[in-house]
Structure 1
């Protein structure tokens, strides 16, 4: 159990014996540990160097265990400082690596992954290797048969670990069954989602170190190959493109509280869950038909609720609805 802080199994055995005895000579520790005296002496020296034991000045020489809570905590803090220094060093090495690989072996800066299974496998692998954030453009077609009917399990796990996800969805996904429910789950777990029209491509950027772009030809309706972009000016350009479109896209905001269809008739300033979803879809450019498909409503039901929103806000047009919702900070 104590190997991660620098103790060998032999050292840990001797330490546990010393903790039980509190005070002991090397010979006593060797007897209880069933280890040779020279090996026990080496372990005791390791314990002293780590601050887990202290040596007496009298004769015979005895050793005493330091209180495990304070001693082990001190060792852990030292290890954490050392790991922090290592991470800082890695960051510096990565800066050197990125600078060097921009112009050396340019043919290795773009990798091609072929085959639907290999694309999915690499996509999951790149997500799992992310330390800080994933940024992406999301639009059809997809490499998985589920499309947006099921949440991305890797994303949900990484969100729990504190990895940020910022995703811009193309407005074409609004017509996909299950998209709204899927994105709602992501947002509830911490995903930051926005919607934009006419995204130029599918894209995922992992930290600032690597990106993946699907290889699609006009008319393709399945994703079977992708480019993997390594550190290079091309990767820098993709990051800059994402940040530019992020600023121009519309945020998807979904309230945490529930709601029912009847709540669309309520008065006051509180926004129901269904109103928030409908306003988000309409502001993202969804037609009545696609909004109804996303919400599970008929086109006529969408039109009826839009009319009620116009009456509620005193608006004459959908544009005025969007303006009023923006003014109130709802979209």
Structure 2
């Protein structure tokens, strides 16, 4: 029971004997605890050092137990203070570690992971280790048959653990049927999503310590290769790239849950359409994403222009920005 304060089983037996006697010599404690004299002498010195006992003057020396509640609580406070100092020191050690690994072994800073099983294992381990933030670029192609939405369960798990998730979706990703609904599901659980007209690659960044770039060609049935980027100037560049694209991209906002909206608010349909128009989607692409005909897209776009007093699609985006809709 007292291992957390540095006492093993043999030490605790001698301490228990002293607590029962309250005052005792080394031979008396050795007899009670069925221990040798050398071991008992070592243990009582440890007890005095921890503040659990005091030594009296005179011959033979006697050891007096300090009231356990006061003594053990004091030891625990010291241990807790030491643990806090150690935790603070972790940050300093990590800075030294990152600085040492950035250039010491440049050949190990980028790993090429091949094989479906190995890629999945490293990707899963990377996600389990995320503590603060996941950042990512999402764009086709996706693995068949449901690659566009397979990541949602994993992301929902991260969000449930309190991890901050920020994702920039390529315009071509949200044009896929049902993809907007998948994105909205993540957002309702806390994901922050944006859309860009030209996301440069697939990318996931775990905190500031690791990134993975999946390698997948159109038509590939599964993801079988990836680059794994360790702390390095390259990882710093990928983080900077993500932040630059995030800043320029269009925020995705959730409209009202129902089919209609209160005055001054966007309906769910209007929010989706506005998001697509602001990202540069054509009427055909917007219709494919929403399950509408081109004519329906044009009709809703015209209503939206009338509502905000815009003459062009560009003015819709400007007015939506002014109103805080995007």
The question of whether the paired residues in 1 share the 8 Å contact of 2:260 and 2:267 is answered with no
Range moving further from structure 2, 65-74 or 208-217: 65-74
**Structure label with greater radius of gyration:** 2
User: Distance in 2 between the 1:271 and 1:31 partners?
Assistant: 83
Tell me how far 1:304 sits from its aligned partner: 3.9
- 1:90 counterpart residue number: 94
1:69-148 aligned within 5 A: 72-102=76-106, 106=107, 108-143=108-143, 145-148=145-148
- 2:265 counterpart residue number: 270
CA-to-partner distance for each residue in 1:47-98, whole Å, 9 max, x for gaps? 66556x3537588422221346665354223212112213321321221221
Structure 1: where are the runs of 5+ without partners?
A: none
- 1:55 counterpart residue number: 54
- 2:175 counterpart residue number: 175
User: Distance in 2 between the 1:74 and 1:187 partners?
Assistant: 45
Could you state the TM-score of these two structures normalised by the residue count of structure 1?
0.76
Could you state the TM-score of these two structures normalised by the residue count of structure 2?
0.77
- 2:68 counterpart residue number: 65
The question of whether the paired residues in 1 share the 8 Å contact of 2:287 and 2:293 is answered with yes
1:259/1:210 Cα in 2 relative to 1: closer, same or farther (>3 Å)? Answer: closer
Q: Indicate which of 264, 273, 282 corresponds to 2:277.
A: 282
The question of whether the paired residues in 1 share the 8 Å contact of 2:202 and 2:214 is answered with yes
User: Distance in 2 between the 1:284 and 1:121 partners?
Assistant: 34
- 1:259 counterpart residue number: 257
Structure 2 SS opposite 1:142? coil
Tell me how far 1:314 sits from its aligned partner: 2.0
Tell me how far 1:155 sits from its aligned partner: 3.4
Tell me how far 1:242 sits from its aligned partner: 2.2
User: Distance in 1 between the 2:79 and 2:217 partners?
Assistant: 57
User: Distance in 2 between the 1:300 and 1:26 partners?
Assistant: 98
User: Distance in 2 between the 1:151 and 1:216 partners?
Assistant: 16
1:1-331 aligned within 5 A: 5=4, 7=6, 10=9, 36=35, 49=49, 53-55=52-54, 57=56, 60-63=62-65, 64-67=67-70, 72-102=76-106, 106=107, 108-143=108-143, 145-217=145-217, 220=220, 222-254=222-254, 258-263=256-261, 266=262, 268-295=263-290, 301-331=296-326
User: Distance in 1 between the 2:31 and 2:152 partners?
Assistant: 56
RMSD over aligned CA atoms reads 3.9
